[in-house]
């Protein structure tokens, strides 16, 4: 069919069919559908696919679909109804070494191949893909170049860009790669109208706060106002950080003990110690009593160190050597003292500032972000997190376990960014 006839057919038929792969909560679908409706189309999802059972529950509950298909790798393209657009927030996997030996642009064994396979078989008008920021630099940019070149070989005009959600009215900085293509022309991913927001714009108020050992210790040492914007972690320093010893979480520390811990925190990261120990440098190495005495010369140093080990602020451990790309204890070296506790060991890892943006939310630690409310500390609610991605308040996740909701939200897309890109797809489609 000629391009002119195709366009005439599109302008007469306002129904736009699409498929939604790796659907998650359906954020790409949501932004796409709303944009196309506003442009006078009737979007219709003819196929969706997702593996996680709780994602499927949430998706079906909101979109009222009768069926969500499972593993896309097991679904032949001919089993999918013809459609106009393919939507996918596909997982980024490394292209296998075996695949690359078969040819630099081989994509078999990756989930992108499923998108490629369906596009090749069904030849829709266009697509909208979303992926993590790391795709830009993955394998020195080769992975992204393979993806783009494969899409171009399917006769699409392809555009891609790393876009930050904070310019689209969301109170979260979240950079993601967006890849779009159509049969007609390139879609510009530049010069979107900018809207900004801060966390306070989406927060609810007067909600129950957390009463725990952690919060009680925190507020014994700091006022609620003093902790706003602070991170809670032991292996980093700086003015915006609170350490467990500063709130006496494992026991109150003396001035000397606090002084030593703060010095050791910085010293253990210096490269000179790796050379002296005889290991490859790593960011945070155990130092011996003798090494510590060079920057903290106290007669009772051993006593201070032993007390900090007993309380659990320090551990006595072997330095680690690199072996088969992993770090393993090197028992040929003397043991040293090191900071124990990693970032995810605390009930809260960050207390957010309502006058600022939220950090990029990830499934692993989204449940450990706190806000001050009613003079106390509470977690972000599921609804507040949904708002940080641009989901409407009527998208109900209340029937899921909190951990399931957090997992899905930590991996979802920013709906307003999808909406803005989809408006341009709709304009091109009806042109």
The pLDDT tens digits for 20-72 are 999 999 999 999 999 999 999 999 999 999 999 999 999 999 998 678 999 89
Residue range 59-82, pLDDT digits in tens? 999 998 678 999 899 999 999 999
Question: Regarding predicted confidence, which is higher, 143 or 168?
Answer: 168
Tokens found for residue 320: 């680690």
Catalytic annotation, pick one of 75, 92, 148, 231: 92
Residue 388 CA to residue 360 CA, distance in Å, equals 10
pLDDT band at 323; cut points 50, 70, 90: confident
Q: Answer whether residue 393 shows pLDDT above 80.
A: yes
Which CATH number is associated with domain 234-341? 1.10.10
pLDDT band at 101; cut points 50, 70, 90: very low
Instruction: Judge contact between 273 and 285, C-beta under 8 A.
Output: yes
Tokens found for residue 32: 């796409």
In sequence order, what are the residues at sequence separation of 6 or more whose Cβ sits closer than 8 angstroms to the Cβ of residue 160?
A: 144, 148, 177, 178, 179, 180, 189
Residue recorded with tokens 């160190």: 305
Tokens found for residue 187: 């879609």
Instruction: Judge contact between 131 and 89, C-beta under 8 A.
Output: yes
- What string of DSSP letters covers 93-138? -PPPHHHHHH-TT--TTSTHHHHHHHHHHH--SEEEEEEEGGGGTG
In sequence order, what are the residues at sequence separation of 6 or more whose Cβ sits closer than 8 angstroms to the Cβ of residue 26?
A: 20, 48, 59, 62, 63
Tokens found for residue 386: 């949904």
Sorted by where each begins, the domain ranges of the chain are 3-197+414-430, 234-341
Q: Answer whether residue 398 shows pLDDT above 60.
A: yes
pLDDT at residue 235, rounded to an integer: 84
Tokens found for residue 15: 């129904």
Q: Answer whether residue 8 shows pLDDT above 60.
A: no
Question: Regarding predicted confidence, which is higher, 113 or 355?
Answer: 355
Residue range 400-411, pLDDT digits in tens? 999 999 999 988
Tokens found for residue 110: 């990756």
Specify the CATH superfamily of domain 3-197+414-430.
Vaccinia Virus protein VP39 (3.40.50.150)
- Measured distance between the N- and C-terminal CA atoms of the chain, rounded to whole angstroms: 17
Q: pTM for the complete prediction?
A: 0.87
Tokens found for residue 300: 């009772």
Residue 62 CA to residue 402 CA, distance in Å, equals 17
Portion of the chain with pLDDT greater than 70, in percent = 92
- Picking from 339, 335, 231, 194, the residue whose alpha carbon sits closest to that of residue 277 is 335
Give catalytic status of residue 92 as yes or no. yes
């Amino acid at each position: 069919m000629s391009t002119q006839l195709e366009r005439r057919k599109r302008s007469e038929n306002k129904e736009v069919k699409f498929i939604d792969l790796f659907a998650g909560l359906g954020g790409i679908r949501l932004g796409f559908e709303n944009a196309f409706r506003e442009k006078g189309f009737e979007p219709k999802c003819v196929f969706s696919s997702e593996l996680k059972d709780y994602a499927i529950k949430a998706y079906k509950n909101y979109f009222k679909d009768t069926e969500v298909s499972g593993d896309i790798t097991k679904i032949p393209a001919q089993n999918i109804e013809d459609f106009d657009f393919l939507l996918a927030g596909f997982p980024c996997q490394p292209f296998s070494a075996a695949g690359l030996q078969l040819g630099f642009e081989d994509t078999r064994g990756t989930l992108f191949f499923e998108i490629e396979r369906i596009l090749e078989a069904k030849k829709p008008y266009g697509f909208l893909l979303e992926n993590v920021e790391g795709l830009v630099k993955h394998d020195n940019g080769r992975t992204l170049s393979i993806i783009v070149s494969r899409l171009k070989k399917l006769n699409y005009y392809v555009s891609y860009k790393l876009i930050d959600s904070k310019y689209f009215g969301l109170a979260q900085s979240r950079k993601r790669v967006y890849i779009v293509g159509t049969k007609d022309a390139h879609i510009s991913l530049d010069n979107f109208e900018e809207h900004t927001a801060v966390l306070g714009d989406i927060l609810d108020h007067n909600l129950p706060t957390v009463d725990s050992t952690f919060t009680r210790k925190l507020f014994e040492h700091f006022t609620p106002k003093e902790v706003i914007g602070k991170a809670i972690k032991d292996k980093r320093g700086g003015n915006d950080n609170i350490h467990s010893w500063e709130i006496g979480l494992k026991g109150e520390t003396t001035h000397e003990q606090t002084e030593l811990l703060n010095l050791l925190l910085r010293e253990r990261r210096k490269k000179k110690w790796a050379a002296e120990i005889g290991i490859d440098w790593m960011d945070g190495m155990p130092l011996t009593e003798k090494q510590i005495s060079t920057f903290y010369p106290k007669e009772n140093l051993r006593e201070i160190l032993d007390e900090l080990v007993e309380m659990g602020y320090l551990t006595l451990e072997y330095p680690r050597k690199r072996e088969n790309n992993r770090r393993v204890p090197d028992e040929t070296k003397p043991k040293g003292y090191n900071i124990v506790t990693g970032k995810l060991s605390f009930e809260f890892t960050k207390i957010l500032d309502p006058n600022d943006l939220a950090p990029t939310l990830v499934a692993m630690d989204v449940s450990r972000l706190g806000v001050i409310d009613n003079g106390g500390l509470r977690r972000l609610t599921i609804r507040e997190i949904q708002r940080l991605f641009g989901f409407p308040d009527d998208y109900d996740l209340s029937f899921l376990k909190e951990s399931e909701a957090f997992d899905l939200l930590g991996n979802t897309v920013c709906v307003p960014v999808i909406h803005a890109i989809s408006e341009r797809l709709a304009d091109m489609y009806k042109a």
